[in-house]
Structures are given as structure tokens and as C-alpha cells.
Amino acid sequence: MIKLSNVSKNYGNVKALDSLSLEIKEGEIFGLLGPNGAGKTTAVKILTTLTKPDSGSCFINEIDVVQNPHKIKKLSELSLKRIILKENLLCMKICLFMECFIILQRLRRK
Ligand SMILES: Nc1ncnc2c1ncn2[C@@H]1O[C@H](COP(=O)(O)OP(=O)(O)OP(=O)(O)O)[C@@H](O)[C@H]1O
Ligand SMILES: [Mg+2]
């Protein structure tokens, strides 16, 4: 179960999230839709501990995301729409980078 209550986040003067509240029950498939800049990525980043909210509460399976980021990291996997790699990386280095992810994934499953 995912529960956000009045979650807000500002980047300087930009209000990325303004009191977002939502509840997603176990087994539900939830689509977060909105125009560009609506705050979708910010909400997902907060849920996956990549950034912290300025205010509000955020729970996954009754675990407080802000207070227990290490527990949430074990629960969540995230694929953002763009993978950003340095343009001058050699093809071989990119392959090694990807291989590291595969090895890490295997280690996590053990
Ligand atoms: N790291 C950041 N620094 C400054 N402003 C940011 C940052 N990240 C997001 N913003 C701003 O916060 C607002 C919400 O951005 P966010 O990326 O969460 O929206 P989004 O709904 O995911 O947009 P899109 O549909 O384009 O992916 C936007 O105005 C964006 O410019
Ligand atoms: Mg986005």
C-alpha cells in the first residue's frame, strides 16, 4: 500500500508538488498522469528516496519513506524514461556499466 498525504516539494521558486495526496492499495495498478512539469517524476523520486519532500508524509507498506530510505530501497525498482551516460564513453565502457547492473541484480537475488 502506498499513501502520500499533503506532499509538497519546491525547487527554489518552482513548486514541483503542491500538497499531493493519494492512496494506492495492494494489487492496484496506478497510472500517474499529468502535463509536462506537473510533478509526476518528483512524486516518483520521493517515493523511491531519490529526493526528499519539503513537507507531508509518504508511506509504502506502512514504512515511512523519509525515515527509512534503506528499507524502501530494498522494496523499489525504478526505470526512468532516459538513461543518461556521458557521450564520450566508449562502447566497451557502456557494456561494462550495463554488466555491473546485471551482476548487482544477481547478487541481490541471492
Ligand atoms: N532538479 C530540479 N531542479 C529544479 N527544478 C526542477 C527539478 N526537477 C524538477 N523541477 C521542476 O519541477 C516541476 C515538476 O517537474 P517534474 O519533472 O516532476 O514534472 P513531470 O510531471 O515529471 O514532467 P514531465 O511530464 O515533463 O516528465 C517542473 O517545473 C520542473 O521544471
Ligand atoms: Mg517526468
CA of 74 to the centre of ligand 2 (A): 23
pLDDT tens digits, 48-97: 999 999 999 999 999 999 999 999 988 877 766 666 666 677 777 777 87
Q: Cell numbers at residue 76, please?
A: 523499489
**What are the CB-based long-range contacts (under 8 Å, 24+) for 34-40?**
39/9
Q: What is the pLDDT of residue 6?
A: 98
Residue 13 identity: N
Cβ neighbours, 10 Å, residue 79: 5
CA distances from 23 to 16, 70, 84 (A): 19, 22, 31
- Between 91 and 40, the more confident residue is 40
The ligand whose atoms approach the alpha carbon of 20 most closely is 1
CB 99 within 8 A of CB 105: no
Q: Where are the domains of the chain?
A: 2-82
CATH homologous superfamily of 2-82:
P-loop containing nucleotide triphosphate hydrolases (3.40.50.300)
* Ligand 1 and 8: CB distance under 6 A: no
Residue 25 has pLDDT above 90, yes or no: yes
**Among 1-10, 24-33, 49-58, 101-110, the least confident range:** 101-110
Q: What is the pLDDT of residue 57?
A: 98
